Structure 1
Amino acid sequence: MATQQNGTLSGAPTMGKAAESAGWPRTDRPLKVALIGWARLSSQAWEGSGYNLSASELARGLVLSGHEVSYLQSGMSYGLVGGPRVRHRETWGGVRCYELMNSPNLSTSFMNFRNVETEIRCPEESALVIRWLDEIGAQLVHVHSMEGYSLDMIAAIRGSGRPVVVTPHNYHFVCPQVDLLHQEARVCEDYDGGRRCENCLPEAPLPGPARRKRAIGQTFERTLGPYAADVVRKAVYGVPATVRRAFRGEFHKGWKAPVLNPDRLLDPELSLGFERVSVRGEQTGAEDGLVHHDLPLQPHEKPKEYDSAPLEQNERMLATRDRHLTVLNNYGKRRAAGVAALNEASLVIPPSDFLRRLHVTMGVDESRTRLVRLGQPHFDQINRRARRSPFYDTPPWNPASARRPLRFAFYGTVRANKGLEVLARAIPLLERGVRERCQIIIRAGGYEWPFRKRLSLYPQVSVYGAYDLYQLIAGAGEYDVGLLPHIWLENSPLVMLEHLHAGKFVVASRLGGPPDWIVPPRNGMLFAAGDAAQLADCLTKLVRGEVALPTPRQVHEATVLRSYPSHVREVEGIYHEVLGATTRQRTVDAARSLAPSA
């Protein structure tokens, strides 16, 4: 296993110079900190999304402050040779990054969904982590994700004499699906002692074959390179299907290019041209304000169904403690083990108060919890841009004087939990006169082509692909209102905080953590999650001026926001706090051991 080099952190002098040039304060009490997660730290938001971006920026901030930071990822890297082991992967941003190869627990949680017993307890994996902590000389551990690890690891680390801080970025400790979203379609208010989990993710793989598949594929990639490995992989996986077809007599008949647009639709206004359209709102027999085309949705592109949640879903989740604590099978035992793991931690610091309260409802000792709001460098860049704008004290839009449409923006992914489907269903519900006073911009990572097809009917809707953090800074000038139509119990979604730092009014589902920030109508509006009609009504009220948009300054004044430097300093303070408590406890334990027995 890789060991520390010369007792110093590679890259630390460089980061010290960077901190000095940026005016970043250096600590006079440097610590050796170990961060735990599943994603590659240097990938930031590209792997692990908001959780990994938060962990990676905290790690860089700690290094800038003068701390020695190491990071361990698990459940992603596999090979055909050797058993589970820890190895150094890279040094990034002054952080020494390691990976636990051939972990008995897979990442992400979907891949490990059926590996319940090993996820509850795996002493061998925990022992590997302890050995790594010993070798790097870690004084304390900060867990950002337990995906790829067993839940008994926190108790093992505490047993080694180190304090453990946990930032739960989602519900993984109490839900193997991570989002408390049954079948990724509805809020799981009652998991029935674990029995409801059994049919939650029917496509989740068996852990053994999944590990072997990764080991073979990644070995090919490391040996042949990614492109050659992909050719081999496709050939190998295609052989069984080809043999089965051959036995059935279904031989390949050759490939034919498909006929494009076989039923080509003409624009209903084709003969109109534009010369005769001189007055806004002029109607023709065929005119309906839509863009007609013949792009059919393929079977795999059809909309996914979901269940809406009542407006009071948060309160219902917090009021059903008895249901959350019932244990009837291994999934129930897994939840109990997750709660026990958090109760072993020195401190649990969720980024939203709802996330904190729900874990307390599920059995976590409230005295071990504390709300710690997130701060990010790009949040601060977005916020500074808003404050320096000449329009900081100007409402972005007023229906009485508007000379352009009201611009709404959805930033996120096409994953079901983000609620893009809710928005896609709300748009057709807008009255034409309302819709024509809107421009809806959608930036969604993933396979967005089906949404492009469906929403290209509306000339007021633009659907783009994924975005990056730098586009976010400039993108603040492209929209007036942020949309957050999620259908899961969001914690502190970075996209919501990005909107608010930009001084934008936010229309969000009243579900999970967002109500901790959004105070209607000062900085946003809330609607029942999944209710497309309510979302359409919110948009309509804004377009008609029934709800007035505040200035960016007013949004900032109405919102509790945390800067990146203050976030890093708060976490540093927590580290020293839990280390002090651990030292005091050791002193007490030592005194008791020396005291004469009665």
Structure 2
Amino acid sequence: MKILFYNWVDYLDDEKRGGGVSVYQKNVIHELNAEEERECYFISSGISYDLFNNKPRWERVKHGPTENRRRRFEIVNSGVLSPAHHSFGHEVQLDEEETTEAFFDFIRKKGPFDVVHFNNLEGLPASALKIKEHWPETRVIFSLHNYYPLCPQVNLWFQERENCLDFDSGKKCETCLPHHHDERIVRLANAVAFNLKKRGIRPGSRLFDRGFGPSMRLAGKAVRVSNRLFKKGQKPTPKKEGSNKLLKRIEMSHRKYTRRRAQMVKTINTYCDSVLCVSDRVGEVAAKFGIAPALIQTSYIGTRHAEKFEHTHPKPSIVKPDGSLTIAYLGYMRRDKGFFFLLEALEALPQELAERIHVVIASRLIDQPTMDRITALSERFASLLFADGYTHEQLDTILEEADLGVIPVLWEDNLPQVAIEMHARHIPLLTSDLGGAQELGNCKNMVFKNGSTTDFAKKIGAILDGKVSTEDYWKNAMAPHSMAEHLDELHKVYDTKARPIAYLPSAEPKAKPAKKAAAVAS
């Protein structure tokens, strides 16, 4: 079986972009490559650009780690910048003919593939999903690790402050971001970085850091000169018969956002065989916004941390024998992740509770004012330990004394990797009522209303008073999925026959319909 995976950034990216999805992609490809009957390829798009050539093309990855280079590819000069906020809501996210053709040309030359599995769509136009128009027997799988098809901001997270339940026919999208990136500058920066990397100058090195700024200035000047010369030598474009350059279609700007969501959903429903959701909650959100329930299938991602679940055990009590409690936060200092809500909740916690709590925070520091707020907490709490970032190898040490993990997300976070990592070590989780993390423990007494410092304090108080026991938490808890278990699920998804193109009356079915997965969402 020949499988092609797609994500917007190389899973071995030197700059570690792509977060948990890149880690997941690396693990899946590593495991599948160990199976003789599976042959895995990978392609990314929207990051690498030339300085003087805008035509999209595909090529083998020529930079970064040498691992698996013969099967790692990228589209250079994609008409769709990635990640999504670099081309926020731009209509090329729906269709960009040259980029789609470059993607299909790759499939023609390196395929055909039995399965094309999209772990994202950022960096490609939605028209790239129309694989079945050329290869009807190919299974097209789409994994929802975020909400990009439904939301140009990706997270259904409005103005960096609230969960977006209704985009008001696209009107809220117009004011969602405080500013929009200049795509020309982003493209130029990517081109400079791409050319440095191809010459063996890797991100993070002193040479790259010192060379990037001067290279940007030189490249910008060279591109401006090149553009002037190109325009000077251009011949006037002959006017096409029937064309009218005086009249332009006018419409309200929010219309493009309603069109984007509708077209994304229609394309997925038409051309994908299965939409894999990394939690039940993701399936519910997807169905709410129009993804066909018959396509939706929950597929909890596999993790190598699952082995920790076999070698650790629940503590006798969530609260320590001396009546104290150690809570831990892992991850990013971001509003959508609930980090600043957590600071607010801890600052507001009654003193009689705070003095019984030890706090552990492991997160890359973003600025000194945030560090000042963290430091101030040490006056109120039993103790406070802080790590300015961490590696996975350091997790056991960081979490050694943790009794309770906190996942305070303010958006429908699909299923945070940090939640799995703590849960796999038999650390109970106190989560907000958004996203998939609450499904790990499946314990209502350990879920608080998102954004509510009052409900957070109520739940913490109940835990400290012994009203939530270890047995309460673990009796309905889910064991984290191992990579082997997850691969078994993927094999079943991959091995099912492709269905015909859906919802297109003119399409002639060329394969028997696959057995539809049971709907997850109500």
Please indicate, yes or no, whether the TM-score normalized by the shorter chain is above 0.5. Answer: yes
Aligned position for 1:37: 7
Match for residue 46 of structure 1? 16
Task: Verify the 8 A CA contact 2:428 2:441 in the aligned structure 1.
Answer: no
CA distance in 2, matches of 1:565, 1:142: 18
CA distance in structure 1 between the partners assigned to 2:182 and 2:262 by the alignment:
23
- Deviation string 1:422-480 (CA, Å, 9 cap, x unpaired) is 11111122232322211110111352643321121233222222222222244442301
569 and 212 in structure 1: CA distance in 2 versus 1, 3 angstrom threshold: same
RMSD: 2.9
8 A contact 1:60–1:94 mirrored in 2? no
Give the corresponding residue for 1:268.
none
- What is the CA distance between 1:197 and its match in structure 2? 0.6
What secondary structure, in the 3-state scheme, does the structure 1 residue paired with 2:86 have? coil
SS at match of 1:149: coil
Out of 73, 94, 97, which is 1:98 matched to? 73
Q: Which residue of 1 aligns with 2:298?
A: 371
Relative contact order, higher structure (CA 8 A, sep 6+):
2
CA drift of 1:561 comes to 3.2
* Alignment partners' CA distance in 2, 1:190 and 1:557: 33
User: Which residue of 155, 166, 173 maps to 1:197?
Assistant: 173
1:135 and 2:119 equivalent?
no
Deviates more, 1:218-227 or 1:101-110: 218-227
1:506-521 matched pairs, under 5 angstroms:
506-520=429-443
Contact 2:162 2:411 in 1 (8 A): yes
Aligned mate of 1:461, from 359, 384, 394: 384
Cα 1:32–1:222 change in 2 (3 A) is closer
Indicate if the aligned counterparts of 1:418 and 1:487 stay in contact, CA closer than 8 A. Answer: yes
Any conservation in 2 of the 1:59–1:95 contact (CA below 8 Å)? Answer: no
How many residue pairs get aligned? The number is 459
Compared CA separation, residues 585 and 135, structure 1 to 2 (3 A): same
**1:436 and 2:355 matched:** yes
**Structure 1 unaligned blocks of 5 or more:** 1-30, 240-326, 387-391, 590-598
Please show how residues 3-82 of structure 1 align to structure 2 within 5 Å: 31-43=1-13, 46-66=16-36, 67-82=38-53
TM, length-normalised to structure 2: 0.81
1:542-563 CA distance string (max 9 Å, x none): 2232333449xx6275325322
Please state how far the C-alpha of 1:88 moved relative to its aligned partner: 1.1
Match of 1:530 among 451, 468, 472: 451
Q: Which runs of 5+ in 2 are unaligned?
A: 219-252, 502-507, 514-522
Deviations along 1:158-185, one digit per CA (max 9) or x if unpaired, are 5333220111101001101000001121
Residue 109 (structure 1) aligned to one of 84, 93, 104:
84
2:97 aligned residue: 123
1:535 partner amino acid: F
Cα distance in 2, alignment partners of residues 328 and 198 from structure 1: 6
1:414–1:448 CA contact under 8 A, matched in 2: no
Aligned equivalent of 1:87: 59
Answer with 362-371 or 454-463: which moved more. Answer: 454-463
User: 1:486 offset after TM fit, Å?
Assistant: 0.7
Instruction: For 1:216, give the aligned amino acid.
Output: V
Amino acid at match of 1:58: V
Give yes or no for the alignment of 1:497 onto 2:420. yes
The residue correspondences of 1:141-540 to structure 2 (distance < 5 A) are 141-156=116-131, 158-161=133-136, 162-220=138-196, 222=198, 225=201, 227-228=206-207, 230-231=209-210, 233-234=212-213, 329-343=255-269, 344-378=271-305, 380-386=306-312, 392=313, 394-398=315-319, 402-403=321-322, 405-445=324-364, 447=366, 449-459=368-378, 460-520=383-443, 525-540=446-461
The AA in structure 2 aligned to 1:75 is G
Residue 409 of structure 2 contacts residue 431 of structure 2 at CA under 8 Å; is this kept in 1? Answer: yes
For 2:400 and 2:475, the matched residues in 1 are separated by 16
Say whether the 8 Å CA contact 1:382–1:473 is kept in structure 2. no
Q: Is the 8 A contact 2:60 2:70 kept in 1?
A: no
Distance 1:394 1:362, change over 3 A: closer
- Tell me which moved more, 346-355 or 448-457: 448-457
Deviation at 1:228, TM superposition (A): 4.5
Cα pair distance change 1:478/1:160, threshold 3 Å:
same
Deviations 1:51-89 (A, max 9, x none): 222222111121122211010011111221433211111
Q: What SS does structure 2 have at the residue aligned with 1:200?
A: coil
Q: Secondary structure at the residue paired with 1:65?
A: coil
1: CA distance, partners of 2:434 / 2:466: 25
Distance 1:169 1:95, change over 3 A: farther
TM-score normalised over the length of structure 1: 0.71
Q: Which amino acid counterpart does residue 87 of structure 2 have in structure 1?
A: N
Say whether the 8 Å CA contact 1:73–1:99 is kept in structure 2: yes
Checking the alignment, whether the CA contact within 8 Å between 2:327 and 2:357 is kept in structure 1 is yes
CA distance in 1, matches of 2:134, 2:115: 12
Q: C-alpha separation between the residues in 2 aligned to 1:375 and 1:224? A: 33
The answer to whether the 8 A contact 1:38-1:108 is kept is: yes
Q: For the Cα contact (< 8 Å) 2:430–2:447, is it kept in 1?
A: yes
Deviation per CA, 1:397-438, whole angstroms, max 9, x where unpaired?
446xx2373111001111221111011111122232322211
How far off is 1:203 after superposition?
2.0
Letter in 2 for 1:134: R
Counterpart code for 1:536: A
- Give 1:133 shift: 1.5
1:369-416 per-residue CA deviation (whole Å, 9 max, x = no partner) reads 2111111112x2321331xxxxx26424446xx237311100111122
- DSSP-derived class of the 2:358 partner: strand
Q: CA deviation at 1:41?
A: 0.8
Question: For residues 445 and 381 of structure 1, do their structure 2 counterparts lie closer, same or farther at Cα, with a shift above 3 Å needed?
Answer: farther
Contact 1:170 1:179 in 2 (8 A): yes
Partner of 1:565: 484
Q: Percent identity?
A: 23
State the 1:356 CA deviation: 1.2
| Structure 2: distance between partners of 1:126 and 1:587 | 24
Q: Give distance in 1, aligned partners of 2:33 and 2:357.
A: 45
**C-alpha distance in 1, partners of 2:193/2:319?**
56
**How many Å separate the matches in 1 of 2:469 and 2:70?**
47
> What secondary structure, in the 3-state scheme, does the structure 2 residue paired with 1:478 have?
coil
Q: Is the 8 A contact 1:45 1:53 kept in 2?
A: no
What are the superposed Cα offsets for residues 198-237 of structure 1, whole Å, 9 maximum, x if unpaired? 1111322132332123223443555594644544544587
Q: Does structure 1 conserve the Cα–Cα contact (< 8 Å) formed by 2:173 and 2:254? A: no
Counterpart residue type for residue 395 of structure 1: P
8 Å CA contact 2:363, 2:389 repeated in 1 = yes
User: What are the superposed Cα offsets for residues 316-353 of structure 1, whole Å, 9 maximum, x if unpaired?
Assistant: xxxxxxxxxxx951111111121012212011111111
C-alpha change, 1:404 and 1:385, in structure 2 (3 Å) is farther
CA distance in structure 2 between the partners assigned to 1:217 and 1:394 by the alignment: 49
Residues 62, 168 of structure 1: alpha-carbon distance in 2 compared, 3 angstrom cutoff? same
After superposition, the Cα gap between the structure-2 partners of 1:501 and 1:585, relative to the gap in structure 1 and judged at 3 Å, is: farther
**1:45 CA drift (Å):** 10
Take 1:576 and 1:443, find their aligned partners in 2: how far apart are those partners? 41
1:481 shift after superposition? 0.4
